[in-house]
Chain A
Amino acid sequence: SQQGEEDPQALSIQEGENATMNCSYKTSINNLQWYRQNSGRGLVHLILIRSNEREKHSGRLRVTLDTSKKSSSLLITASRAADTASYFCATNGNNRLAFGKGNQVVVIP
């Protein structure tokens, strides 16, 4: 089955810096989604990129998708303390999502 794999697993940055996370997957997809999880809470959808799209923006988020390399990246610009969370990519290939293991991001004020 499809499986997103994020890299790196943990990231610690200063407030104002950019944070970049990568995700790779193994099979064909319809779209790829990124979710955020704050400690003790459920996942919250951030952004979706379709398989025929290469880049998408939403506020301070920028996601790229390279289907030839089966990889995606999520960039958070000008990070804030409130961005501290775990971030998961999820591939959608058959009306089901396959989640990666997640990236923990800590933004230091």
Chain B
Amino acid sequence: DADVTQTPRNRITKTGKRIMLECSQTKGHDRMYWYRQDPGLGLRLIYYSFDVKDINKGEISDGYSVSRQAQAKFSLSLESAIPNQTALYFCATSGGGEQPQHFGDGTRLSIL
């Protein structure tokens, strides 16, 4: 079983819809992250959380919100999706310090 699981893996939806992407992990890590990946732009950080009571904005948080329901769960919401939010979204976890980040396999989101 994957250590970091993202659901759904693919989603097509319409402009204006509310979307929730979910991430769960079995690694026991405190730190969790949401990134989006666009062709030619690399990964950009949307939100991150260092523990259940800690939520921080990343470089591109506008139009997104998150919820850290438990140590193992971190969800990303698009309150009113727009076409330029079409991208590949990744969740990652880490144990902090110099420990590397562990990524899920991503959610491919298309907004029409």
Contact = CB atoms under 8 A, between A and B. Distances in A.
Q: Do A and B come from one complex?
A: yes
Interface of A: 1, 4, 30-31, 33, 40-45, 48, 50, 88, 92, 95-102
B59 A40 contact: no
Contacts of B100: 33, 45, 48
Interface of B: 4, 35, 40-45, 48, 50, 58-59, 90, 92, 96, 98, 100-106
Nearest to A30: B98
23 contacts: A31-B98, A33-B100, A40-B105, A41-B105, A41-B106, A42-B104, A42-B105, A42-B106, A43-B90, A43-B92, A43-B101, A45-B100, A48-B100, A88-B42, A92-B98, A95-B50, A95-B96, A96-B58, A97-B45, A99-B43, A101-B40, A101-B41, A101-B42
